[in-house]
Structure formats: C-alpha cells, structure tokens
Structure 1
Amino acid sequence: MKSLKPFQLTYTAHESVILREALNGWGISKRTLASVKYGGGTILVNGEEVTVRHVLGIGDAVTVIFPIEELGAGLQAEAGPLDIVYEDEALLIVDKPALQNTIPSREHPEGSLANLVAGHFAANKIPATLHIATRLDRDTSGLVCIAKNRHIHHMLSMQQKDKRMKRQYEAFAHGIFESQRFTITEPIGRKGTSIIEREVRCDGQFAETEVEVLHQFPEFSHVKLQLNTGRTHQIRVHLAHIGHPLLGDDLYGGKRDILARQALHCRILELVHPVSGNPLRFEAPLKADMASLVYVNR
C-alpha cells in the first residue's frame, strides 16, 4: 500500500506571502503540517521541494503531498457489507444499519462500521485510513461521513464548528407534542453517576435541537430534528428532558414494546466538499423497521 500514490492537493498563490502563512490560509492545520514535514509528506512549489519559510510569488503552484496514514493498531480490517452512498479520493459517505457500532467497543470488538470501511480500503488498495466526522450510536441508523485523511477531517471539523455541515434526523418519540415546531436549547453534560449517560445540566455544554412534528399517532409521534450542535446523545437527551423519549431508548426512559431499538435515523447530510468547494446533499430513506411504523399506524 505504501507504493500507491498518496493524497495530494495543489493550490495557486494569489499574493506574495510566506508559504507557512499561505498554507494556514488554505486550511492546513499546524498538526497536519507537522505530519507532512515529519511523517513522510512533501511540499512542492512549482515542482521543487521547499521549506515553509519559502516566499511565494503570485501564480506559484503549491502542491502538498500528504503522508500515507496507517490504521490504528486496534482496528482490524474486515470484509462485509457496506452501503456506500458516495465516495471520492477525500470522502466516504455510508448508510449505517441499526445495531452496528460506528467504531469497535469492548462489548462489540468486531463488525463495526470502521472495521468494514478499513476492509473496503484494503480490498480496493485505497491508500487511506479513516477519520469518522459524524459518529452515530449503535442503535441509530443512517448517514455517516468519513474523511480519508487527517487534513480532510480537520476541514470537516471546521465546517461543523461553523455550522456549514447540517444533519437532519427522523425519529419516533413517545407521546403527543403540543407544538408542531419548536427549538430545544438546553446544556448537556455527563451524568454524575454514569460514564455513558448524559443529562441536561446547568454546567453542561451548549446544545440546540430544532424539532418539527411530521405526524402524530395515538401513542407516539413522528418527528424531524435538525442538530445545531453535536453533543453526545443530544437528540435522545433533549427529547427525554421534555417528556418525549425515543421509542426503544430504554437508557433514557423509552419503551421497547413497539420498536426494539431507539427509533432514530440520520436521513439527510449536507456539507461543502472540502476540496472542490461544491455543496453536497445526501439522503437515506428510513430503515424498514422505522418505515413500517408510518405505514402500519396510518
């Protein structure tokens, strides 16, 4: 795999500036730059290797050749089904099934999405590792965004911070909602008695979820949710906090008599491509178990 062509990007200088400053302006983080300098990468200006102290001229072509990253020692590549929605040299978008970990855990060391993505890269001789930009809980299904190298992951993280990446979910929650559209703005932090559970607490991190009720059934409601922040268990905690836990989410008060897993699905993912700058939009329909709740109860 090391003999394969590594990922690289080329930029054009539009002003006379020190290379280090230009790289920062193009979104190359200090950590990424260090990995290029000391991890086997190269920086070329008009085809010649230079240091970051080099002064660029207008029109100079700057090529950053990123080092090929190795998979972490604890992640084993596995063959298995992978529902690929989109893939190019920088990004991989997949539709994750329910009851699959995004990354391996002590309870589920094999069969995670990360294991299968690593297997996909190995089988297709793709010189990349994986950096998961949008992780989903084991029970949650839907779209997951994966960067193929550290720099792309950094660029996606900046999009999330600037709210240019948008994730829209659909869920089924217990009870009947009084309002059709509303926003939950409540801080979320770790519950003191648990290493897993989160709760709304005054010393937590700012968290905001937009809610739209799509349809109300006698015992539960079909809702659409827009995440404006990305806190752990955010949707689950916010809905439970207002008295409407997700169906199947027994960790936060939901019952499993209707659905045997938390009824949450990441349906739409919108982002700006970190290389081309083009807007991207992906959609994954509800899985059969959640979709059946709509058709059976109408």
Structure 2
Amino acid sequence: MQSSAEQLVAEFLREYRASGTYLRGHVARLAELASSQDDQVAESATRVLFASLVEPLADSFDPVAVTLYNRAFAQIVQICRRNPAALLLDERLNRFGLQSEEHLIARAESLRVVSDLSAHNELARSLQRVIILSRITLGADVAITSVIIERIKRNFPLAEIVLAGGSKAAQLFGGDPKVSFKEIGYSRAGTTIARLLTWINLLECVRELTDGLNPAEYLIVDPDTRLTQLGLLPITGASEKPQWVTSSGHHRVTTMSEWSGYLFFPSREYGSATSQSLAELTSAWLDQAFGETVTT
C-alpha cells in the first residue's frame, strides 16, 4: 500500500512539473488511502502523503509550491471531512462558511497578502491578549516564533502573551516571564484525519483564551503552523469589526484582514527571492505588517 501511495505522489509531481497538469484523481486516491478505516493503511498512506508531497511543498520556499499545496490539501480536506470519523471537522468548517474545496482555497489564497496592522498604536490601547501559535518543530520556533514573541512584547507591552503548542515549545520559552503556555499536542505519526482533528482542539483552546474578550482585545498570530495546516484551516471569522478612536477623534477600522483578530505569516514564500534567513524574513514581515522598521 505504501508503494502505491508513493507511486501516486511521484506521478502527480512528475506530471505537474512537466506540464502543469493537476492529476486530481491521484490526489483523491491518496486522500482515500490516508483516510481509510483500516488504521494501518491510513497511517502508511499518511506518512507518504506528508513526507513525499506536503512537506516538500511546504519546504520549497516557492510561491508556485504554495499554490499547489493550497489546491492539493484543500482537496484532501474536502475528501477527509466526508469520513464518519471526521464529523467534527466537517461541522466546524461549515460553521466558518467553508462548505467547498473552492472556499478553502479562496481563504488560503487571501492570506498570501500581508495584513496591515499599521494602526497598532490604537490596537495597543485595547489589546489584552496575544495568542501565538507554535510552529511545532523546535528549529522553526527558534527561527520564527522567537522573533514574533519579541516583537509582540515590544509593540504590546501591556498585553498577555500566550504560546499555544507542544511541550517542547514550553521548554524553549519557559524562561520568559512574559509568556504563558497552552499545551496543544500535534502528532506527526497519526493518520491524516487525526492530524486534522488537532484543529478542533486548537479551536477550543482559542475559544477559552478569547472568552469574554471582544475582537479588539485579542490577536492571534499564526506563523504558518501545522496546527492550522499552514493556514488552510481558520481560527477566527471576520464578522465582528471593532472600531478604535484615533487621536483626531475619528473612528477607523483597520485593514487587518478586515480585522478578524488574526495575523498570518506566509513563511513559505515571503521574501523567496532573497537570501535572508528565516529570522530576518520574519522580522521584515513584522516590519511590513506593523508599518515600522525595527533593527534586530
């Protein structure tokens, strides 16, 4: 079964690279294997799916690969959500108005535009809590998450900072008195559906951490984490749009993704034409998002 999944991935990538043809049937078959009711089949196919397709696309640092990932993984999610074991996944996605593959793709594509939080001076006066999602892997948390934490501490000194992730993230940042932790496990050895259902736990975590806060009082920072499957799965909606009073007395709504309380770092393509390190690119992205230049 593993060789069959490997063959599907190899043929899919070979054809796409050669002609740009998207072999939809191959992705569908991969998703079916990865969501099989036979755990052995599902786990085997999931290992191939992530190791040979998902992770190489995520690590390629290429805008074309981002487009392909969004398309392929949206199709995979759409197939998996029909599985009886994924009823909660389907229900929660429907609550966000994401009924179709096209909805998932459109939302993911919208995140590729850097959000504008240049009005963060107004936000700083109302923001009570910033939830930063871990990148799961230790190396990425060192290179990316640590830079985000330091900038949030600088720009929002009065806000509570909560890092959501695994125990390794808690150990890495445990010496920082400004950071508290909310543990969310993400198994890199489970089936595709099991990995997707981690998102349900994340939603519950976010609900708890934002309970009693209005949208102007919290910010969620997603550094392109596997917890949201690289931004493909939503955390907040944009139905509530808070207003801030500027120094001139006028109300304004920021353009922060129509303000959903959510900030996404498109790490797989931001600055892809440069030779900067991930830490440098993270800092540059924060500069752009906050409309400032901070020397690091």
Larger RCO of the pair (alpha carbons < 8 Å, separation 6+): 2
* TM-score, normalised with respect to structure 1: 0.27
* TM-score, normalised with respect to structure 2: 0.27
Which has the higher Rg, Structure 1 or Structure 2?
1
Which of the pair is proportionally richer in strand? Answer: 1
Which of the pair is proportionally richer in helix? Answer: 2
